Amino acid sequence: MALFKRIFYRKPQERLLEISERIYVFDCCFSTDVLDEDGYKVYMSLIVGQLNDHFPESSFMVFNFKEGERPSQISDILSQYEMTVMDYPRQYEGCPLLPLEMIHYFLRSSESWLSLQGQQNVLLMHCERGGWPILAFMLASLLLYRKQYSDEQKTLDMVYKQAPKILLQLLSPLNPQPSQLRGERVQASYTSLRTGPESTE
């Protein structure tokens, strides 16, 4: 737990939290504050500037968990800086957990991006309002997939607890699906991830 917290809270630059080497989360995902359109643009431009200064030779990919089919605001902004943004739904059928094939695609894409030979690519993760539960799950899944942690439930708990309690209260509405079905679904997802990258080839 102490090791995880030390890694999680390293902040080599403002407005980003470093989860692991070259994996960052936008700190707005941990806040209940809502930026207006102009404030959000300034926030993103400052982050882009810091990233370019800190990683002058790197390329960046952003995974964003959003609601609805319309183009995301972060995609509109970061496309101006030639950053690739991959949009994912923030929930599936009323549950903050994506289909297994989509989770596997996310994990394989992340691993491929971070492992490209001769490159130091950076992975950024972002969620729109209400998307914290799926962001936490996918972060925990990625840490497990890359074999940086081995205990599924503890890893998910450690990531999930980084959000302020008020955020969890506001953004975790009651799910009408029976709890035993949700538990089975989560367990099935984690079981399929245990063996790591080799299992998905």
Q: What is the mean pLDDT of each run of 10 residues along the chain (201 residues)?
A: 44 73 87 84 92 90 86 88 88 73 91 88 89 84 84 73 61 43 52 53 44
Q: Are 36 and 44 in contact (CB under 8 A)?
A: no
Q: What is the pLDDT of residue 122?
A: 94
Which of 28, 29, 95, 127 is catalytic? The answer is 127
29 is catalytic: no
Q: Rounded distance, CA 128 to CA 29, Å?
A: 7
Strands 16-20 and 23-26: antiparallel
Question: Which helix H or strand E contains 147, and what residues bound it?
Answer: none
Range of the domain at 168: 2-200
Q: Rounded distance, CA 102 to CA 79, Å?
A: 23
Number of domains in the chain: 1
> How confident is the model over 97-111, as pLDDT tens digits?
788 888 999 999 999
Share of the chain above pLDDT 90, in %: 23
Q: What is the DSSP string of 24-73?
A: EEEGGGG------HHHHHHHHHHHHHHHHHH-TT--EEEEEEESSSSPPH
CATH number, residue 36? 3.90.190.10
What residues have CB less than 8 Å from 154, skipping those under 6 apart?
A: none
Q: Is pTM beyond 0.85 here?
A: no
> How confident is the model over 119-136, as pLDDT tens digits?
889 999 998 877 888 888
Give the SS3 label for residue 173: coil
